[in-house]
Amino acid sequence: MIGKYTLAQLRAGKHWSQEKAANALGISTTTWRKWEIRQFFPTQQKVDKILKVFNVKYDDVIF
């Protein structure tokens, strides 16, 4: 992937539902939704997992 992506764009790129993304990260769907709308932000541990699950670099993601 090239450029900057939101969490919603990363999820959509995998054709995943919010539920599937949340399950992949071991979090609730509500937590994922709040991250997507930038109401809350993931911890560093969860950021690291997001980067691994979606195979992106930190600088490529808009948190």
Domains and CATH numbers, the chain: 5-62 (1.10.260.40)
Kindly write down the DSSP assignment for every residue of 5-22, as one continuous string: EEHHHHHHHTT--HHHHH
Rounded to a whole number of angstroms, the distance between the first and last alpha carbons of the chain is 16
The per-residue pLDDT for range 32-63, each reduced to its tens digit, is 999 999 999 999 999 999 999 999 999 999 99
State which amino acid sits at residue 48.
D
The per-residue pLDDT for range 13-37, each reduced to its tens digit, is 999 999 999 999 999 999 999 999 9
Query: What would the two tokens of residue 42 be?
Result: 């993931």
